[in-house]
Amino acid sequence: MRHAIATLTLIFFAASANAQAVARLDVFPAERILHAPNHTQQLAVIAHFADGSQRDVTRLTAFRSSDTKTAHVTLAGQVRFHQTGEVAIQCRYGTTAVVRMTFVEPKPGFVWPDPPANN
């Protein structure tokens, strides 16, 4: 049992030593306003590495919504809105990038009150 744990530890450290540093993440779209009836958006994440190479890491990225009551994001990076609002989606793979997403749904019967100007 000790031999198996030592082997796994060595493999882990060897893989970590060979892993390239992520210089930056690009998330597409970087910002989006969705209008009803469209309430979903698929994100794509491209990692740019220190050696100049790049790779689509969408399926390896950890996503998090700033407000899960307004919108949630799946493990695969699909954002789904539940109500009108704005959220920030944190995308983490070696480093972190944040995108802003907004969803607007018209309210039936809404009439602009046309308030007087104050300036």
pTM beyond 0.85, yes or no: no
Q: Is residue 114 part of a domain?
A: no
Instruction: Tell me, yes or no, whether 31 lies in a domain.
Output: yes
The verdict on residue 10 lying in a domain is no
Is residue 64 one of the residues assigned to a domain?
yes
CATH value at residue 72: 2.60.40.1080
Q: Residue 25 sits in which domain range?
A: 20-104
User: What does the DSSP assignment read for 78-118?
Assistant: EEEESSSEEEEEEEEESEEEEEEEEEE-PPTT-----PPP-
Does residue 15 lie within any of the structural domains? Answer: no
Give kind and range of the element (H or E) at residue 16.
Answer: helix 2-18
* Segment 7-53, tens digit of pLDDT: 333 333 334 434 689 999 999 999 999 999 999 999 999 999 999 99
Cβ atoms of 61 and 26 closer than 8 Å: no
Nearest to 91 by CA among 76, 103, 102, 81: 76
Q: What is the tally of structural domains in the chain?
A: 1
